[in-house]
Structures are given as structure tokens and as C-alpha cells.
Structure 1
Amino acid sequence: MKSVIQRVSQASVSIDGNIAARIDQGLLVLICAETADTKATADRLLNKLLKLRIFSDDAGKMNRSVQDVEGGLLIVSQFTLAADVWSGNRPGFSGAAHPKMGEELYDYFVEAARKRHPIVETGTFGANMQVSLVNDGPVTIPIQL
């Protein structure tokens, strides 16, 4: 799975002009399932992001996880993370999982996150979403598993 994690002081997702999900301090998690991904891949990604120490401790060092700071997760599907732009000027998305598989892995990831973390909000798979955020730091970390 490919993911881009952004440490935020707030983030939201709007669909058709209405806010569908919102968090305060936490992580905006953009995820994309690729063709070879499995539930085990989703589990590894979730383990990594829950333990990723990218929040500041009292000394100002990145030493605390989203769990340590009791932050929220805003999980948004984004198949465009699989874009291949090496040939030509129009991105190709052949590396992205088929939509049915992508949605199944997205749903699995969200369900697993909700079992392990108290604050989980989501976008809507396949919807045209507008994502707003205040990137804290800024801290943006790409992850590919």
C-alpha cells in the first residue's frame, strides 16, 4: 500500500459542500491499495502509522505517536498515489488495485483502525472529496509497504 501521512492540527473532508469528517490534532492518512496488496499489507501500514513517532515531546523532539498524543486519524482513499508519470504527461494508474479490491482493503483498514484507535474519521471511497488541512510542522511522510 502507498500512503502519505500528514501531521495536522486539524483536517476535514467535504463531499458535495458538506463536511463529512473532521479531526483536530492527529494524522491525515491518504492511502492507496495496489495490485499486490493484501490484508497483511494493510495491517503492517496500520501498525507503522500508529507507532510512528512524529509528534513533539516536551523537549520539542519528534518522539510521540498519534496514540501518545491521543490524536485523531482521518483516513482518505486516494488511488492517484499509484500514478505512474515516467512516460508521457498523462499519469497511468495500472498499479492501483481494481476498485472492488481497493474498496475492500480500504474498508478493512478503516475497520482495523477503529478497533485499535479511539478517534477514526473517514472520507468516502470513490467519492469526489475536498480535503482541507492545516499541516503541522509541516510534517509529511510518504510510506510504501
Structure 2
Amino acid sequence: MKTRSRIATIAAASSAVMLILAPQAQANWTSSISNAGAGFESRRWTDSNWTQVQFTGCYNSDVTPIGDGVGVQVWQDLSFQPDDSYDNKIFTACYSGGNTSSGEWSEIPQESGQFYFQITSVGGRTSYSSSVDVDKVYVDTAKP
């Protein structure tokens, strides 16, 4: 009996330690983008209420000069129906010496869901023929 009790105690303690050390289910993440054009979709994240997307260090990868600016739109991924879209924002500051462009979406519904952003344009072009590289992408869902 003592052995079973001891095993149960060790198993419970191990589970508690694993829960404490397990990564939290936060939606904040950092990445980069390479050679993405209009229509590119980010990975999904869980969110409710508010999202901020930041791009740092943007470079158009076209040979022919085009205008600076990348369109970014947040979408809610809905199963078996068209996704809901939120404001389209044009990021321009990220093209200036490693500066950061930032967009906030506060009209996100109260209920939690899966979200992603989509690049809607690069240099004013809405076709995939123009592409952008972004050194750092940061998605934040914890409203300050």
C-alpha cells in the first residue's frame, strides 16, 4: 500500500511541476516574412478583444522600384463559412531604417477565436507579383 501511495504522490508532484513549467497559451509571437505578396496569410493565433501587429525592417523585393507600403488586414478564421475581416492598414514606417510600423485592431469580438493577418498589397500593388521581406513580425494580443 505504501508503494502505491508513494507512486501516486510522485505522479501528482510531477504533474504539478509539468503544469508550472509548461508554456502558457499566449497568443503573442514573433517571426519574420520572406518574399510574401498580396494574399500571404500568417499563422493563426487565439485572441479576443484586441490585436496589435508590428512590422520592423520592411524591404520590397522587386527589381523595379515601387512605392513603399504594405497593406495588412486581420481576419477571424471561421469554420465552414467566410472569414470575418477587420480594418486594412497600410504600414510605411517600417521601410525607414529599421523602424517599426504598428497597427491595432480593437473591434475584435469578445468571444475568443482563431485570427490571422493577410498581406493585402505591396507597394500599392494587389497582385502577388510584388513581394516584401520583413525582418521582424510581432503579434501582441495583451492589451496594455
Asked if Structure 1 and Structure 2 have the same fold, meaning a TM-score greater than 0.5 normalized by the shorter chain, the answer is: no
Higher Cα radius of gyration: 2
Tell me which protein shows more helix as a share of its residues.
1
Tell me which protein shows more strand as a share of its residues.
2
Query: Structure 1 length normalisation: TM-score?
Result: 0.29
